[in-house]
């Protein structure tokens, strides 16, 4: 992979770069040439500009991936912004998977299988994610939430 990157044959993902820094015992900022004001070996800080993001095709939902790459498939957490009219619909995750959604601003409508509920500011909804599920903003203001996904292996 390193050889391909050096030859310009591939562009590494953020997860690849993060894994390289961990293997080399470096901070991400050291690898890209940025400087850190202080070293704290027991604390890892990811600058906002390096936080991976996923946006829906219509641009109305933005997921900022807060969990580290090694957590994929276990416990994942996200900062979620859903603009009015936005929807984040998901296929079922592994059997036993759960989502925990804490609304920080506005309100969101959550559907899991055949159940639907409105979740207001500062409330938390916990629901099965091993069935088709969706998070929608049917209101008129932007909604912000923290989403934790707990995925159990097959």
β-partners of residue 90 are 133
Q: How confident is the model at residue 102 (pLDDT cuts 50, 70, 90)?
A: very high
Question: What is the rounded CA–CA span in Å between residue 139 and residue 143?
Answer: 8
116 touches 109 (CB < 8 A): yes
CATH number for position 74: 2.60.120.10
Instruction: Give residue 28's pLDDT.
Output: 60
Listed residue (133, 58, 54) closest to 93, CA to CA: 133
108 touches 52 (CB < 8 A): no
pLDDT exceeding 90 applies to what percent of the chain? Answer: 47
Q: Based on the fold, state whether residues 97 and 115 are members of the same structural domain.
A: yes
Range of the domain at 145: 51-150
Question: What is the rounded CA–CA span in Å between residue 3 and residue 42?
Answer: 31
pTM of structure: 0.71
Q: What is the pLDDT of residues 41-60, one digit of tens each?
A: 788 887 888 788 888 889 99
Q: Based on the fold, state whether residues 116 and 139 are members of the same structural domain.
A: yes
Q: Based on the fold, state whether residues 34 and 60 are members of the same structural domain.
A: no
71-75, 78-82, 86-90, 122-126: least confident range: 71-75
**What value does the mean pLDDT take over residues 28-44?**
62
């Amino acid at each position: 992979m390193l050889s391909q990157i050096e030859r310009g044959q591939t562009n590494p993902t953020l997860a690849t770069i993060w894994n390289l820094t961990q293997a080399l015992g470096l901070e991400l900022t050291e690898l890209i040439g940025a400087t850190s004001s202080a070293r704290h070996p027991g604390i890892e800080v990811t600058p906002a500009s390096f936080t991976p993001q996923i946006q829906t095709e219509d641009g109305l939902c933005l997921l900022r991936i807060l969990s580290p790459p090694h957590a994929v498939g276990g416990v994942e957490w996200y900062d979620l912004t859903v603009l009015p009219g936005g929807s984040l619909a998901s296929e079922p995750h592994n059997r036993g998977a759960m989502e925990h959604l804490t609304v920080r601003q506005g309100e969101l409508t959550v559907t899991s299988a055949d159940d639907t509920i409105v979740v207001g500011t500062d409330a938390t909804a916990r629901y099965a994610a091993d069935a088709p599920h969706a998070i929608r903003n049917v209101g008129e203001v932007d909604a912000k939430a923290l989403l934790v996904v707990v995925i159990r292996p097959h």
